[in-house]
Structure 1
Amino acid sequence: MWGRAAAVAAALMAAVVATPAVAQATPDCDDGTCRIQLTPQQLQAAAERLVSARRFDEAAPLVAALRQAPGFAMQSRFLTGYIAAETGHPDQAAAQYRAILTDDPGQTGVRLALAKAMLALHKPGAADRQFKIAEQDQDLPPEVLRTIRTVRDTIRAQRPWQVDVSVGLAPDTNINNATSLDTIRVNLGDNSIPLTLDERARAKSGIGQTAQVSARMRLPAADRLSILADLDGNGTNYGGKDFDDYVVQLAAGADYALTSKTHASLEAVGAHRWYGGDAVSRQIGARVGLQTTLTPSRRVGVQLDLRRTTALFDARYSGWQGGLYVTYEQAVSPTLLVSMGPFVRRDWLSDNTFSNIETGANVGIGGAMPLGINFGLRAGASRAVYDAPFVFFDAAPRRDWRLVARATLGNRKIRVLGLSPQIGFSWTRIESTIGFYDATRSRFEFTLARYF
């Protein structure tokens, strides 16, 4: 099924992996006995000649000896992996290639070899991820980049789905997203008086069990047209049910390739949320997206999201919600991606007290590092202005500054029952003109993730 993609991957690997030729050693003969002393470079060249001639059994001891030479572990691992791949053992080849990339994620040729091995193991999703990273290498020749895109198109056409799953624990300083203040001021007539908050209205800490699932399907339907379907679900379970929080979102639509580099999409969206054991809201709407690739390492996207929200806990929160998001991405290296972009969100709710407009921006950086480590950093800031005052708290409309930060650190080299560990930390701060909404929240997540 993946024969064509695998064949192209092999050609790509040959195009970007090359080792300079080294002069052959001269035999030293004495009394009919000849000895050859090889430098590591000569040993590598001899092993490569045997591998190129497909004399793998003869090459194997030379490759094993090469590993003992200081500074030649990468070359030995690559040749070991190549021999394994060519003799029908792609799993062993993948292990060798991963070991190289763990120490040096910037080895594009090795990454292409790993992608080929993943195709041989019938893991097209994993292969596509490796091709995607390799595509960011700005030193690749244009013809190689074009071929990578062709292979990725073939993979997506033949393997239209992707699923990611994670489970874990989440210690949280503010599971109810409430204020930490003991006393706030409220208005009674013309007087402003202090009000002591009940313990249930203040921030509570706790440890929750978390689970997330994300599924994507992209099914070619016609020339330049693909059917899209997305499922996202996440939830946190705490002791009891008062603060349990679960969200499920479905989306379905189509993607149309306007050009080879620009895609437009339109999807219907539906979402449902449960909190404290009860259904609290449902949404239905649509989102429109436009994404274009400026260069192999730069991409920009725009998304417009418009939904009708029905608040099942309080009709005053029902209404329309819309958002416009712009994202710019740039690969600063084959394994490091920077993203940034502004956004505008608007809530038109039944009660103007809760209607608002929020403007802000996000910036992030993430990628792979040596030793199999993956990391991500993201920060954002926004300003929210409400339409009408909540007179019980303040005669002026509410205004918030909102800050968010998140850091993740994972290691795909470590596997626990096929799952990779990840640690995450998120911090949010709402600085509001109304003390009741002033809140700070810190949350750790210790998760195990699986990518299918």
Structure 2
Amino acid sequence: MRIAASVAGAAVAGLWATAAPALAAPERTCADGTCRITLTPPQLLAAAERLIGEQHFAEAKPLVEALRLAPGFKLQTRFLGGLIAARTGDYASAADAFMAILADDPRQTRVRLELAQALMALKKTASADRQLRIAQQDADLPQQIARTIRTVRDTIRSGRAWRLDFNIGIAPDTNINNATTAQSITVLLGDQAYQADLNEDAKAKSGLGQTAQLSAGLRLPVAPNVSALAELDANGTNYGGRHFDDYAVQLAGGAEYRLTPTSSVSLEGVYARRWYGGNATTEQVGVRTGGQMVLGTRDRFGYQIDVRHVRAFFDRGYDGWQGGVYGTLEHALTRTIVMSAGPFVRRDWLREKPFSNTEIGGNVGVGGELPYGFNVGGSLGLSRAMFDAPLPIFDLKSRRDTRLVVRTTLGNRKIRLFGFSPQVNWTYNDIDSSLKLYGIERSRFEVTLARYF
């Protein structure tokens, strides 16, 4: 905590200088042995700041409460109220006050540093690290404070860190059975081609489901520069009946080795399983390795290599191996807005060659915090999949797919209901395939309440 306090202490001197031009002396009038002092709002603010700096919190509190009545001083009174709460040990109230300020104006670096200190006192180290990471993007940050922030973040990462995110809501979907967009298909029998119309069961069905996602992680130091990793990701959507219910779970465990204070590598074993329509559809067992490094104050590069054995319960022809290489470069456009981009190559080596393929593509995205508590994000992924062999019953040429995925997210952390905040996600999938049977179009909304621990 001494390290975190030094961040805030340095910030007091370097980031929030409220003393502007010299203030006029308070107006003083005396009558019948009683003197009355009249303070203007700027004088009241200066007096409250001085008392807080001298740790006279009880005396400063009524001045802050009086300042709340003055127009144009909402931010200052919120901040000073948060400071008094933090300095007197009421870290929960302090965190609420600082988060309210940042919800309206996420550019306030000084407030973000105070929030990080309060979150560390509440043992919410992962959240504190996130606030410090955003604060690092401030180009006007004095070098002394920047160095201290790096030290604090290193301390956080070397300690026990855990995360838990959960959301629950409803999911309107235009294609809950992931059906083809084709109305008919061509079937080749010998030298003859026949046109076959698809029945209603093969066509897209819309629906409204109940959805939930859970993501948890643990990083536990076990040796100098080495931490044990454990992760759990689960999600599911329930529709009326069970024919289109979709559930998935993934477990990962391994270790991370920190090469330098700003770079690390990791190795994990992975197990994943999916159920659709009440039945297990796939099981995957494999390993993944990755790494990340910080490039300056605004950029970060990461990569991941993932290799798994796939067992398909619905069709043994899909049994085999799956591997991929993924890269990501993140760049902070502003203190609170980050852009990311990266290529990927994925390969499926399956039992049946017509199902084996190579996919090459990339993703680009942007997201971050906006004023008034809004969080936004958007991404676009585009790829080309080339299959190893044709399906002679449909086409004499190997299948080719162009795949598009668009995702957007809008949330507001200023609105709270039992700690949960509203969030809306939209995902659009489009597969343009040379075999029309595999062409898919799907639009899915998720209206959820999300909580981040």
TM-score of the aligned structures, taking structure 1 as reference length: 0.95
Taking the aligned partners of 1:309 and 1:176, their CA distance within structure 2 comes to 22
Change (3 A) 1:27 1:267: closer
Shift of 1:35: 5.4
Output aligned runs, 1:13-24, within 5 Å.
Answer: 13-14=11-12, 15-24=14-23
Match of 1:381 in 2: 382
> After superposition, what is the alpha-carbon deviation per residue over 1:385-424, rounded to whole angstroms, capped at 9, x for unaligned?
1111111111111111111101111111112222111111
My pick for the range that moved more, 134-143 or 297-306, is: 134-143
Match of 1:363 in 2: 364
Shift of 1:267: 1.0
My pick for the range that moved more, 345-354 or 64-73, is: 64-73
Output aligned runs, 1:269-308, within 5 Å.
Answer: 269-308=270-309
My pick for the range that moved more, 75-84 or 11-20, is: 11-20
Output aligned runs, 1:39-118, within 5 Å.
Answer: 39-118=40-119
Shift of 1:17: 3.3
- Aligned length in residues: 450
Taking the aligned partners of 1:155 and 1:8, their CA distance within structure 2 comes to 15
Shift of 1:163: 1.2
Change (3 A) 1:68 1:168: same
Change (3 A) 1:22 1:277: same
Q: Does 1:26 align with 2:25?
A: yes
Root-mean-square deviation over aligned CA pairs: 1.8
Shift of 1:357: 0.7
Taking the aligned partners of 1:153 and 1:29, their CA distance within structure 2 comes to 52
Change (3 A) 1:12 1:198: farther
Q: Does 1:412 align with 2:421?
A: no
Match of 1:259 in 2: 260
Instruction: Tell me the secondary structure at the aligned position of residue 281 of structure 2.
Output: strand
Instruction: Tell me the secondary structure at the aligned position of residue 399 of structure 2.
Output: strand
Shift of 1:172: 0.5
> After superposition, what is the alpha-carbon deviation per residue over 1:41-97, rounded to whole angstroms, capped at 9, x for unaligned?
333212211221222233223322333333321111111111122222222222221
Shift of 1:346: 0.7
Taking the aligned partners of 1:152 and 1:43, their CA distance within structure 2 comes to 36
For structure 1, the 5+ residue unaligned runs are none
Shift of 1:117: 1.6
Output aligned runs, 1:309-324, within 5 Å.
Answer: 309-324=310-325
Q: Does 1:391 align with 2:392?
A: yes
Match of 2:174 in 1: 173
Match of 2:214 in 1: 213
Instruction: Tell me the secondary structure at the aligned position of residue 70 of structure 1.
Output: coil
Match of 1:337 in 2: 338
Shift of 1:28: 4.5
Match of 1:403 in 2: 404
Letter in 2 for 1:129: R
Match of 1:7 in 2: 5
Name the % identity.
56
Instruction: Tell me the secondary structure at the aligned position of residue 185 of structure 2.
Output: strand
Taking the aligned partners of 2:292 and 2:98, their CA distance within structure 1 comes to 32
Taking the aligned partners of 1:271 and 1:381, their CA distance within structure 2 comes to 25
For the Cα contact (< 8 Å) 2:274–2:280, is it kept in 1?
A: yes
Instruction: Tell me the secondary structure at the aligned position of residue 179 of structure 2.
Output: coil
> After superposition, what is the alpha-carbon deviation per residue over 1:291-323, rounded to whole angstroms, capped at 9, x for unaligned?
110012200111111111111111110111111
Letter in 1 for 2:18: T
Change (3 A) 1:133 1:202: same
Moved over 6 A (4+): none
My pick for the range that moved more, 245-254 or 352-361, is: 245-254
Change (3 A) 1:30 1:157: closer
Shift of 1:262: 1.7
For structure 2, the 5+ residue unaligned runs are none
For the Cα contact (< 8 Å) 2:234–2:250, is it kept in 1?
A: yes
Letter in 2 for 1:266: L
Match of 2:249 in 1: 248
Instruction: Tell me the secondary structure at the aligned position of residue 178 of structure 1.
Output: coil
TM-score of the aligned structures, taking structure 2 as reference length: 0.94
Shift of 1:139: 2.1
Change (3 A) 1:427 1:12: farther
Taking the aligned partners of 1:21 and 1:138, their CA distance within structure 2 comes to 23
For the Cα contact (< 8 Å) 1:293–1:300, is it kept in 2?
A: yes
Change (3 A) 1:49 1:8: closer
For the Cα contact (< 8 Å) 1:9–1:115, is it kept in 2?
A: no
Change (3 A) 1:23 1:34: farther
Change (3 A) 1:319 1:71: same
Letter in 2 for 1:438: G
